[in-house]
Amino acid sequence: MQRRLVLVRHGQSEWNLKNLFTGWKDPDLTERGVEEAKAAGELLKTEGLVFDVAFTSKLKRAQRTCQLMLDALGQKGLETIEDKALNERDYGELTGLNKDDARKTWGEQKVLMWRRSYEVPPPGGESLRDTVARSLPYFVREILPRVLNGETVLVAAHGNSLRALIMTLERLTPDELLKRELKTGAPIIYEMNADSTVAGWRDLGAADEEAA
Ligand SMILES: O=C(O)[C@H](O)COP(=O)(O)O
């Protein structure tokens, strides 16, 4: 029995393009983000993937990525479950600020810790640990049982709500997590064992990076 889970960060959003902290704000995809989503679906189709269910967040950049991928896969109308547990982490008072301006104001190291550390929250926002506390229980309760039951599951969500799951899936230490980046629209394919451990995984975005 195959047990496959595919995670994908949404395609480029209008605020990604402007280099703004986005969090719970709800900008749409850019044209490039739309193309990234379509390409991700086409790539998974060439990999022979056929999904049984999809999960996404309550934010339109992830929802549209999910639907564009399913359209490209020829699976328009597949059961798609939306839940705010998969929403991006809340960036609090940084939301809407330019990331480079934030670095100038507070310094590279502090902004890096806010963006990539496990337990340091941005002012008024969620740390990754806070994001784990809402996304991981949802994953274990709603998503993992379907994968273990032999379903092929797509999760289209956000950089940090996915890193919250990836920390467990890839058994990353907080230091390793600091460096774990997700490209927009780049699927990560996990093969799961019956005991819910990961047999293997391929980050198709990382493949691009290696190729670059
Ligand atoms: O919420 C945001 O600003 C982005 O989607 C993720 O931002 P980050 O890569 O700085 O965490």
- Is 167 part of any domain? yes
Ligand 1 proximity of 158 Cβ (cutoff 6 Å)? yes
Give the total number of structural domains in the chain: 1
Whose C-alpha lies nearest to ligand 1, atom 2?
22
Per-residue model confidence as pLDDT tens for the chain (212 residues): 899 999 999 999 999 999 999 999 999 999 999 999 999 999 999 999 999 999 999 999 999 999 999 999 999 999 999 999 999 999 999 999 999 999 999 999 999 999 999 999 999 999 999 999 999 999 999 999 999 999 999 999 999 999 999 999 999 998 899 899 999 999 999 999 999 999 999 998 875 443 33
- Is 96 part of any domain? no
- Is 19 part of any domain? no
CATH code for position 200: 3.40.50.1240
Under a CB-based contact definition with an 8 Å cutoff, are residues 35 and 136 in contact? no
Beta-sheet strand order (sheet of 4-9) = 80-82, 53-56, 152-157, 4-9, 188-192, 198-203
Q: Which of 31, 42, 47, 88 is catalytic?
A: 88
- Is 193 part of any domain? yes
Range of the domain at 37: 4-13+30-91+127-211
Dist. CA 206 → ligand 1 center (Å): 18
CA distances to 19, 46, 84, 140 from 65, rounded to whole Å, are 19, 18, 16, 23
- Kindly report, residue by residue over 169-198, the tens digit of the pLDDT: 999 998 899 899 999 999 999 999 999 999
- Is 50 part of any domain? yes
- Is 85 part of any domain? yes
In whole angstroms, what is the distance from residue 149 CA to residue 1 CA? 9
Whose C-alpha lies nearest to ligand 1, atom 10?
115
Residue 88 appears among annotated catalytic residues? yes
Give the global pTM.
Answer: 0.95
- Is 122 part of any domain? no
Whose C-alpha lies nearest to ligand 1, atom 6?
159
- Is 192 part of any domain? yes
Residue 10 appears among annotated catalytic residues? yes
